[in-house]
Chains A and B, each alone.
Chain A
Amino acid sequence: DAGVIQSPRHEVTEMGQEVTLRCKPISGHDYLFWYRQTMMRGLELLIYFNNNVPIDDSGMPEDRFSAKMPNASFSTLKIQPSEPRDSAVYFCASSPRQAAKQYFGPGTRLTVT
């Protein structure tokens, strides 16, 4: 198994631009998670899906952030418009069932200048 795949691994963009981060979960996993990691706030859960349905998006910082999961093998996290304070590492993770181990992807390092 290839594990959780995220793209791009690094993204540098200018303030105001739209950014789209992509994630392919492990095949057969029912849950998909988006996390953000910063020095100031640590690791935070942004949103998670169960069987492609968003369950908890209380961690999404504001309306500029949106996440979709159109099918079981693909999810996107979009920021529009981006701001410098969005600079962080964004992780996608998946898990096969409730309360199970979450498998993390390698992360996308986003820099907004």
Chain B
Amino acid sequence: AQTVTQSQPEMSVQEAETVTLSCTYDTSESNYYLFWYKQPPSRQMILVIRQEAYKQQNATENRFSVNFQKAAKSFSLKISDSQLGDTAMYFCAFMPNFGNEKLTFGTGTRLTIIP
């Protein structure tokens, strides 16, 4: 079974700073998908970014980017120029390869952006 580990329960940074959230996972699969989801206080789950394991290029989405290290099974999320609206719980998630839609989530990191 796959496991996803987020070792930082809480983090806080000043507005406009850059912050990196870490995630590691364990799998025997060679092809899979990784995701970062954001859950603000409204409770809504929102996809931040998606990475396909067979792609070497790190995914980026505006101020959000990932550092995907396949050999190390590491998938960190970098938020640049952080904004107050980035305050939320962030969940890393793993999906096995094509044909299995089961998402396994980490325990989350609570990120607070300080004005």
Contacts and interface: CB of A to CB of B under 8 A. Distances in A.
A89 B43 contact: yes
B45 A33 contact: no
Q: Which 10 A-B pairs have the closest CB atoms?
A: A104-B45, A43-B105, A101-B47, A42-B107, A99-B33, A107-B43, A45-B102, A48-B101, A56-B102, A31-B101
Given A89-B43, A106-B44, A98 B105 contact: no
A99 B108 contact: no
A43 B38 CA distance: 13
Contacts of A44: 105
Given A93-B45, A104-B44, A48 B50 contact: no
Contacts of A56: 100-102
B5 to A, nearest CB: 12
Nearest to B93: A43
A82 interface: no
B104 to A, nearest CB: 8
Contacts of B47: 101-102
